[in-house]
Chains A and B, each alone.
Chain A
Amino acid sequence: MALTGIEIYKHLPKTNCKECGFPTCLAFAMKLAAKAVELSLCPYVSEEAQQALEAASRPPIRLVTIGAGESKIEVGNEVVMFRHEKTFYHPPGFVVRVKDSEPADAVGKLVAEVAGYSVERVGIELKMDGFAIENESKDGGNFVKCVELVSSKTDLPLILMSTDSSVMSQALDKVASAKPLIYAANKDNWEQMTELALKHQCPLAVCEPEGMSELAELVENVTGKGVEDVVLDPGARDFGPSLVNLTQLRRLAVRKSFRPLGYPIITFPGEAAANAEEEALLAGQQVAKYAGIIVLDHFSPGMAYPLLTLRLNIYTDPQKPIQMSPGIYEIGTPKPESPLCVTTNFSLTYFSIAGELESSGIPSWLLVCDTEGLSVLTAWSAGKFDAERIAKTVKEFNVADTVSHRSVILPGKVAVLRGELEEELPEWKIMIGPPEAWDVGGYLKQHWSA
């Protein structure tokens, strides 16, 4: 775990020279502990202290990059067990597995479909992250052909899966510049696989299902030879063992700073699942509980979309909730005479009211004001959801051209804004909606007539 302010303070000059911009060395140490500033701001820190502090501030889980170029996968660097403790930083990569024993045209079609898949949610484009190619045929020629086929169809990162180092070597000769993940070194082949990883400068997965001690030992063998980018496969596959193993690995890394196991983890939910639906659930478990790379054996949009949404949800920074872009949103297929509600741009507020409008069955317009991500009452009390700002939003998004009527429904909790808003928007009738989102359907049925 990272050092506390006091621990850091011990390594500082303790001269309170203020050159770092803070009144005392202790104040600076506290900022360092909170990761709010860089150590380089201190001109007098000794080299010794610098090394000690840097070693201690290394992330407990190494950031590992798979692939090269824009679509590379970066995983690791996590610092907490629970997202509310800070946040989860690097969402796990969703990788789809193909096998070199499958017909080339089927592989080509699947790769094109997965690589081309994209779905939008709250203004963010969600995509799959790469491909794993398994040497199921055990034949080197087949494997190389399949690897070349996949890499000809996509720039997404690859995972090469073979325990045969000569087969791996042949494939790496073709695609090493794309920095694929080598899967995997085990206790029989680790020396050869390590050589390949070093020669080609590619990340290396280490697979050891016997236990944590055995896994740590194998990782130390590999890193002892100079490999830095390691991905762990503790071997556990089913729901229970996967949860337990991944939890223990995360704890060892972030609570105990146990370096030999401080690497991202790769999982294979399809290997334990009875069907595609179960695979999606196990993948979901691993999104929330500590996977870095999730290799899927099924792909369909109806399953990819919920999984990508889950990943987005879990990896949302709890301190910085997703904000909706201000603007006018269509709920259902509204017409110019449909009702107009106004709300804030806190995503949960938006989703509450949008969900209720949706399920009311009444198509409507929802005007979202920029309240810097605050909910209705909080924004109001912070002065970020007032008459002036609402009026400005109405004008900015030309709401008067979108709707044919001149009625706007305010959240009931800010009924107090009516008077001022009537002054700001003299042509508009200000209506007071219900205080809670869940009541808006009933409210519209009772009070709305265009």
Chain B
Amino acid sequence: MAAVEVPIEKWTGKVHEVTLGGNGRKSVVVGGESTLPFLHFEGSLPRRPVIAIEVRDSEPKDWSPHLVDAWGDVLADPAAWAKKAMEYGADIIALSLRSAHPEEGNTGADEARKNVDKVLSAVDIPLIIYGPGVAEKDNEVLVAASDVAKGQRVALGNCEEKNHRTIAATCIADGHVAIGKTPIEINLAKQLNILLCDVGLSRDSILMDPTTGALGYGLEYTYSVMERLRLAALGGDAMTAMPMICTAGEESWRQKEAKFAEGMPEAWGDHLERALTWEEITAFSLFAAGADIMVVRHPGTVERMKAVIDRLMSESA
């Protein structure tokens, strides 16, 4: 019989490339895909998906004992934590300025400057800087962080519709990248990208966070929205073609499957095994859906994701 002809998709679009770091600091470039994740046979995947490790500016009080065991003393010192994260293979440090949260210290711009400066000096890989997730405090600490990190091309998040002008302005002024976060919906994601471009932020300075649902907690919604965003981008829609970032660590470790050891059903199995698998499957499924940057928490997840991505990125695939 005749040879089987494998169908090839002819994509017209391409994901924008976004550079973090540089200017003396190591740089990481994400994006550039002209095909679906890991399908080397019909397009180019010039950049590897990367791993960011979450580091907090203050010691987390409610983290799972397995995370506390894995990191030990450095949890109280963001600079030491970032260094150790780099040793564990982080491509990027995702510094979360949680202490600015009204319930977790309510610190302000001064503390943010101090901590960002410390972490910038401790490591030479790029930074993502997250505010505490409360609108006014985000604006206060992210603008301060932006100023301290001027020229270092960090990513600042989260940028939502309500604060997009402030974050975009500070990114433009200091040469940073904005992380636009929208609640698991393709049109809202696109709309925020348009708003950011309208206020003057360039396309290569935007990352999309489609909002991560952990395994068992909405993963399939995130997964499908990301597949749709990526298909739209490859189909030629430049306003959905920003690289995507997901927060698998934060979302999986706050679910009871990962967080709690005691009083769980026997069928849930060994706590550490379950918790790690929860984070890893969440992260890996979203890489498979098109994530370019994954923010995770456990060093074991970093190791495993890197090993698997190595294999998926090898051209022989």
Chain A residues numbered 432-450 whose CB sits less than 8 Å from any CB in chain B: 438, 441-442, 445
Q: Is there contact, CB below 8 Å, between A83 and B254?
A: no
Task: Give the complex CA separation of A305 and B217 in angstroms.
Answer: 14
- B256 touches A (CB below 8 Å): yes
Greatest chain B CB density within 10 A among A303, A310, A314 is at A310
Q: Is there contact, CB below 8 Å, between B317 and A82?
A: no
| Contact with B218, one of A304, A310, A351 (Cβ below 8 angstroms) | A351
What are the residues of chain B within 8 A of A84 when measuring CB–CB? 224, 227-228
Greatest chain B CB density within 10 A among A313, A347, A351 is at A313
Q: Is there contact, CB below 8 Å, between A248 and B304?
A: no
- A117 touches B (CB below 8 Å): yes
Q: Is there contact, CB below 8 Å, between B288 and A310?
A: no
- A361 touches B (CB below 8 Å): yes
Task: Give the complex CA separation of A339 and B102 in angstroms.
Answer: 22
Q: Is there contact, CB below 8 Å, between A445 and B218?
A: no
Task: Give the complex CA separation of A118 and B265 in angstroms.
Answer: 11
Q: Is there contact, CB below 8 Å, between B1 and A217?
A: yes
Chain A's nearest CB lies how many Å from the CB of B313?
A: 8
In this complex, how many residues of chain B approach chain A with their Cβ under 8 Å: the count is: 60
User: Which residue of A has the minimal Cβ distance to B216?
Assistant: A309
User: Which residue of B has the minimal Cβ distance to A355?
Assistant: B217
- B231 touches A (CB below 8 Å): yes
What are the residues of chain B within 8 A of A438 when measuring CB–CB? 133
Q: Is there contact, CB below 8 Å, between B267 and A216?
A: no
Chain A contact residues: over half helix, strand or loop, or mixed?
helix
Chain A residues numbered 131-187 whose CB sits less than 8 Å from any CB in chain B: none
Q: Is there contact, CB below 8 Å, between B255 and A82?
A: no
Chain A's nearest CB lies how many Å from the CB of B58?
A: 17
| Contact with B281, one of A220, A281, A316 (Cβ below 8 angstroms) | A281
Chain A's nearest CB lies how many Å from the CB of B49?
A: 13
Task: Give the complex CA separation of A347 and B184 in angstroms.
Answer: 14
Greatest chain A CB density within 10 A among B6, B257, B284 is at B6
- A252 touches B (CB below 8 Å): yes
- A102 touches B (CB below 8 Å): no
- A271 touches B (CB below 8 Å): no
Q: Is there contact, CB below 8 Å, between A277 and B6?
A: no
Q: Is there contact, CB below 8 Å, between A304 and B4?
A: no
- B248 touches A (CB below 8 Å): no
Chain A residues numbered 358-374 whose CB sits less than 8 Å from any CB in chain B: 358-359, 361
Q: Is there contact, CB below 8 Å, between B274 and A314?
A: no
- B136 touches A (CB below 8 Å): no
Q: List 9 A-B contacts (CB under 8 A).
A: A212-B4, A213-B1, A239-B38, A243-B38, A244-B39, A288-B223, A301-B266, A302-B272, A310-B285
A contact set with B: CB distance below 8 Å: 82-84, 117-121, 211-213, 215-217, 220, 238-241, 243-244, 247-248, 251-252, 255-256, 258, 260-261, 274, 277-278, 280-282, 284-285, 288-289, 300-307, 309-310, 312-314, 316, 318, 347-348, 351-352, 355, 358-359, 361, 438, 441-442, 445
B contact set with A: CB distance below 8 Å: 1-4, 6-7, 38-41, 62, 102-103, 133, 184, 213-221, 223-224, 227-228, 231, 254-257, 259, 265-274, 276-278, 280-281, 284-285, 288, 304, 307-308, 311-312, 314, 316-317
